[in-house]
Structure 1
Amino acid sequence: MSGRFAAGGQVAIVGYGHSAVQRHAERPLGTLAVETARDAIADAGLTVQDIDGFVGSALFPSSGGHAAEDGVSTVTPAWLAEHLGARPSYVAGFQGVGQLPGSVAMAVNAVASGAADHVLVHRALHNPRARYHDTAVREFGGAQQWTAPQGFFGPLPMIGLAYNEYLQRYGAGREAMAAVLVEARKNGARIPWSYWHGRPLSAEEYLAAPMVNDPISRYDCDIPVDGVAAFVLTSAERARDLPHGPVYVAGYAGSPPGPRRLPLHWPLDDIMAGGAGTARRLWEHAGVKPADIDVPQLYDGFSPFVYFWLEALGYCPVGEAHRFVLDGGIDNDTPGGLPVLSGGGALGGGRMHGVPQMLECYLQLAGRAGERQRRQTTFGLACHSSPHYGGAVVYSALPW
Structure 2
Amino acid sequence: MSGRFRARDQVAIVGYAQSPVTRHADRSLGALTVETARAAIADAGLTPEQVDGFVTATLFPTSGAHAVVDGVSVVSADWLAARLNPNPRYAAGFSGLGQIPGSMALAVNAVAGGAAEHVLVHRALYNPAGSYHDTGAAEFRGGLQWTAPQGFFGPLAMMGMTYTEYVQRYGASREALAEVVVEARKNGARLPWSHWSGRPLSVEQYLAEPMLADPIGRLDCDIPVDGAAAFVLTTAERARDLPHRPVHVSGYATGAPPRRRLPAHWPLDDLMAAGATTAERLWASAGMGLDDIDLVQVYDGFSPLVYLWLEALGRCPVGEAHRYVRDGGIDSDRPGADPVLLSGGSLGNGRMHGVPQLLECYLQVSGRAGDRQRPGVTTALSCHSSPHLGGALVYSAQPGAGV
TM tier, smaller: over 0.9
* Residues 6-25 of structure 1, C-alpha deviations (whole Å, 9 max, x = no match): 21111000000111100011
How do 1:97-108 residues align onto structure 2 when only pairs under 5 Å count? 97-108=97-108
What residue identity is the alignment partner of 2:380?
G
The yes-or-no answer on 1:71 pairing with 2:68 is no
Q: Note if 1:33 corresponds to 2:33.
A: yes
TM-score normalized by structure 2?
0.98
Name the CA distance, whole Å, in 1 between partners of 2:10 and 2:334.
Answer: 34
Cα deviation, 1:67-117, whole Å, max 9, x if unaligned, reads 000000000000000022442100110002100111001100000000110
Contact 2:14 2:242 in 1 (8 A): yes
- What count of residue pairs does the alignment treat as equivalent? 400
2:172 match: 172
Residue 257 of structure 1 deviates from its aligned partner by 4.7
Aligned to 2:154: 154
| Residue 360 of structure 2: aligned partner | 360
Q: Give 1:274 shift.
A: 0.6
Q: SS of 1:347's equivalent?
A: helix
Map 1:131-280; keep pairs closer than 5 Å: 131-280=131-280
| Paired letter, 2:198 | G
In 1, the alpha carbon distance for the partners of 2:205 and 2:86 equals 48
> 1:221 Cα shift?
0.2
Q: State the distance in 2 between where 1:221 and 1:386 align.
A: 14
| 1:301–1:385 CA contact under 8 A, matched in 2 | yes
The alignment partner of 2:160 has SS state of helix
Query: Could you list the runs of 5+ residues in structure 1 that have no partner in the other structure?
Result: none
**8 Å Cα contact 1:111-1:234 kept in structure 2:** yes
C-alpha contact 2:37 2:122 (8 A) present in aligned 1: yes
Instruction: Give how far 1:218 is off.
Output: 0.6
C-alpha deviation, 1:293, in angstroms:
1.3
Q: Distance in 1 between matches of 2:278 and 2:9?
A: 20
Deviation track 1:97-139 (CA, whole Å, cap 9, x = no partner) reads 1001110011000000001100000000000010000001011
SS of the residue corresponding to residue 380 of structure 2 reads strand
Where do 1:380-395 residues align within 5 Å? Answer: 380-395=380-395
Give the match's secondary structure for 2:105.
helix
TM-score when normalising by structure 1 = 0.99
| 1:168-208: CA deviation from partner (whole Å, max 9, x where unpaired) | 10011111111111110110000100110000000111111
1:313 alignment partner in structure 2: 313
Could you list the per-position Cα deviations for residues 284-336 of structure 1 after superposition, in whole angstroms to 9, with x for gaps in the alignment? 10011111111100000000000000000000000000000000000111111
Q: After superposition, where does 1:11-50 map in structure 2 within 5 Å?
A: 11-50=11-50
Q: Is the 8 Å Cα contact of residues 51 and 85 (structure 2) preserved in structure 1?
A: no
Residue in structure 1 matched with residue 338 of structure 2 by the alignment: 338
CA RMSD of aligned residues (A): 0.8
Residue identity matched to 2:36: T
**Gapped regions of structure 2 (runs ≥ 5):** none
The 2-side partners of 1:331 and 1:272 are apart by: 24
Whichever residue aligns with residue 110 of structure 1, its letter is A
**Aligned-partner Cα distance in 1 for 2:145–2:359:** 40
Where 1:398 maps in the other structure, the secondary structure is coil
In structure 1, how many angstroms separate the alpha carbons of the residues matched to 2:4 and 2:328? 33
Task: Tell me the SS of whatever aligns to 1:348.
Answer: helix
Cα drift, residue 258 of structure 1: 3.8
Structure 2 letter corresponding to 1:199 = R
Q: Do the aligned partners of 1:52 and 1:86 also contact (CA within 8 Å) in 2?
A: no
Q: Percent identity?
A: 69
Offset at residue 378 of structure 1 (A): 1.1
SS at match of 1:389: coil
Q: Matches of 2:97 and 2:198 in 1, distance apart? A: 31
* Helix, strand or coil at the partner of 1:276: helix
Alignment match, 1:112: 112
Amino acid at match of 2:179: A
